């Protein structure tokens, strides 16, 4: 597919996404998934994710850093996942077909992720450094699951396809019509593409916060733990760059957004907790 056709297809897909009045539902409202996901086959993204996840586990295992099944921290994470996963499918029908996995890697990294297809990894650093409670760990896991469910990686790949095609097309046109160095136009276009991805990455993080908080709340985990989680994150990242230079919203912004959404998710948590007999 040449650059002109790629750009035309992307424009058609975006324009075709006419807003539809959604049925009233409980919980957060983050809108429809991006039309850019339609540019990249979900099966291919999930296949690549599975291969990369396997490589990560093999590397960790070769360094004796992969937690065995009887590891207490790993069992704790898998218990949390078992409660969250049933509430994933409403956010993405493909999730019912995913082969979900949860693994724990020994590392000081304060990190966790869920790859497309439901491949979850936590690092011991995030559990131990932040001393996460079960509710806070559920907020982290729900957030990472939300990235996969909302197909943020697939969306970014779609955007990259469009911006790369547009950059090449723009460079060729300017070079041919105006005699401008194509290397210069390509460089400018790449910077524009990076800024576009930066913007959407921040939005993706904010969206994942809210979706993850709802999933965890429906599973009976206290959504207010999202506030304490990001207070801990903020204290641990005092040297972090300002929000406009980061792909992640500042901790204060995330906390404010979650506080605003609290009235939408607290009833879900209270109902779930009541159904569990008040047990944590």
> Cβ of 205: how many Cβ atoms within 10 Å?
19
Split at pLDDT 50, 70, 90, the class of 187 is very low
Give residue-wise pLDDT tens across range 203-214.
888 899 999 999
Residue 183 pLDDT exceeds 50: no
Sequence-ordered alpha helix ranges (H) in 150-250: 152-178, 182-218, 225-236
Give residue-wise pLDDT tens across range 219-271.
999 999 999 998 998 888 876 655 545 556 777 888 899 999 999 999 999 99
- 151 catalytic? Reply is no
Higher per-residue confidence, 50 vs 187: 50
Give residue-wise pLDDT tens across range 11-65.
454 444 444 344 467 889 888 887 777 787 888 888 888 988 999 999 999 999 9
Residue 250: the pLDDT is: 74
Whole-structure pTM value: 0.77
Give residue-wise pLDDT tens across range 86-115.
999 999 999 999 999 999 999 999 999 999
Catalytic, out of 46, 144, 205, 207 = 144
**Taking phi first (over 0 means left), then psi (-120 to 50 degrees means alpha), and beta for anything else, what does residue 64 get?**
left
Query: What integer best gives the mean pLDDT of the chain?
Result: 79
Residue 149: the pLDDT is: 96
Sorted by sequence, the CB contacts under 8 Å of residue 162 that are 6+ apart come out as 6, 7, 10, 36, 39
Residue 19: the pLDDT is: 43
Residue 247: the pLDDT is: 57
Give residue-wise pLDDT tens across range 258-273.
999 999 999 999 999 9
DSSP string, 23-41: PP-SS----SPPGGGGGS-
Residue 251: the pLDDT is: 73
Give residue-wise pLDDT tens across range 152-177.
888 887 776 665 544 444 444 434 44
Alpha-carbon distance values, 81 to 75, 101, 199, 263 (Å):
10, 9, 30, 24
């Amino acid at each position: 597919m040449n650059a002109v056709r790629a750009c035309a297809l992307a424009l058609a897909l975006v324009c075709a996404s006419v807003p539809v009045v959604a049925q009233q539902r409980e919980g957060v409202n983050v809108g429809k998934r991006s039309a850019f996901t339609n540019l990249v086959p979900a099966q291919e993204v999930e296949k690549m994710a599975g291969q990369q996840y396997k490589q990560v586990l093999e590397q960790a295992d070769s360094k004796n850093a992969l937690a065995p099944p009887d590891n207490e921290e790993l069992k704790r994470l898998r218990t949390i996942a078992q409660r969250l996963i049933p509430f994933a499918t409403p956010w993405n029908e493909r999730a019912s077909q995913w082969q979900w996995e949860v693994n724990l890697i020994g590392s000081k990294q304060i990190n966790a992720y869920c790859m497309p297809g439901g491949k979850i990894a936590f690092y011991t650093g995030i559990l131990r450094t932040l001393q996460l409670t079960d509710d806070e760990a559920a907020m982290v896991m729900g957030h990472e699951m939300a990235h996969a469910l909302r197909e943020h990686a697939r969306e970014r790949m779609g955007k990259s396809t469009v911006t790369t095609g547009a950059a090449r097309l723009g460079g060729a046109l300017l070079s041919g019509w105006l005699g401008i160095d194509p290397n210069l136009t390509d460089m400018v276009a790449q910077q524009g593409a990076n800024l576009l991805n930066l913007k959407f990455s921040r939005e993706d993080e904010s969206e994942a916060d809210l979706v993850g908080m709802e999933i965890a709340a429906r599973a009976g985990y206290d959504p207010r733990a999202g506030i304490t989680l990001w207070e801990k994150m903020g204290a641990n990242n005092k040297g972090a760059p300002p929000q406009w230079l980061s792909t992640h919203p500042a901790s204060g912004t995330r906390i404010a957004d979650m506080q605003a959404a609290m009235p939408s998710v607290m009833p879900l948590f209270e109902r779930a907790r009541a159904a569990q007999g008040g047990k944590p």
